[in-house]
Amino acid sequence: MQGRQDYTAHEALVRAARAKPELWRLGLGLILIYLVGFALSSLTLPLLATLFPGDWIEGLQSGTTPGAMLVLLGGFAFMTFGVALTARVLQDRSFWSVIGHPRPLIHQFLRVSLYLIALGITLSLLPPYDMGAPLTPNLSFGLWLSLLPFSLLVVLIQTSAEEIVFRGYIQQGLAARFKNPLVWLLAPSALFALGHYLPNEAGENAVLIALWAGVFGLLMADLTARSGTLGPAIAVHFFNNVTALLLFASPTSLYGLSLYLMPYEMSDAQALRPWLAVDFALMLVTWLAARLAIRR
């Protein structure tokens, strides 16, 4: 990463937070975001279970059915609502001040998305053409296609919510208090990594997967600081999760909306670790493509 002068666009996001930069507001805000999400989920889930009875609720935590995944990912909207409420109550900020002005945000999101589509098509034409073992079909193509508009919507909700919390509320709150970019780049990324530490599911791979998430968070923080909106980070996160949740999902969990299942579980260290190295490389290439897309 280059000097601080490359992050001048970040001031557009941080400016509103500087009026009330106290760290206690940031901490209390995170608690409030959690409580709002928990309360709304507690009210919504029983209602959905009554209106749409079925076995989807049994797989809600693991995301093993289409219904469970739609509800699980769609529920991240409560997190976004929590941020909007918290920013207004504790910092007297608008929601747009957290995510960026809508016009450049949408423009950057679409531009980065076009670059990532082109990158994805290019990479699909290059070897290797498989993962060393056959993929397992999950949903039938017809069902997968019929669910795709809803699947894309809930993945967008989920990825947007995570970016709004980590690269929005937390990053801006720290940047309003600390001038050193290392603080507001690294601290939210470390929290993001901690949230992806899943030893029960990933076994020996848990630390590497958390490290991947931490590096991913750092790169998304860099994109946000360079662009002045959350648009580029949301686009990259969205395309990453579309691949991981809707196309080639892990057979361990969160595969309810996926077309195929990968041939290896998250805990399979010998088989999965070489692909984690590929994933790290792909993450860097994706970040560079997004950097190119937003370059003025």
List, for residues 188-224, the tens digit of each pLDDT value: 999 999 999 989 888 888 899 999 999 999 999 999 9
Q: Residues of the chain with pLDDT > 70: what percent?
A: 97
Q: Is it the case that residue 182 has pLDDT exceeding 60?
A: yes
Per-residue pLDDT band at 125 (split at 50, 70, 90) = confident
Q: Is it the case that residue 4 has pLDDT exceeding 70?
A: no
Residues 40-73 have pLDDT tens digits of: 999 999 998 888 887 777 778 889 999 999 999 9
DSSP string for residues in the chain: ---GGGGGGGHHHHGGGGGS--HHHHHHHHHHHHHHHHHHHHHHHHHHHHHS-SGGGGGTTTT-SHHHHHHHHHTTHHHHHHHHHHHHHHH---HHHHH--HHHHHHHHHHHHHHHHHHHHHHHTSSP-S-SSPPEE-S-HHHHHHHHHHHHHHHHHHHHHHHIIIIIIIHHHHHHH---HHHHHHHHHHHHHHHT--HHHHGGGHHHHHHHHHHHHHHHHHHHHHHSSSHHHHHHHHHHHIIIIIIEE-SSSS-TT-SEE-SS-TT-HHHHHHHHHHHHHHHHHHHHHHHHHH--
Residues 232-285 have pLDDT tens digits of: 999 999 999 999 999 999 998 899 999 999 988 888 878 878 888 888 999 999
Domain boundaries, the chain: 4-294
Mean pLDDT along residues 107-128: 92
Predicted TM-score of the model (pTM): 0.94
Q: Is it the case that residue 1 has pLDDT exceeding 70?
A: no
Mean pLDDT along residues 3-30: 89
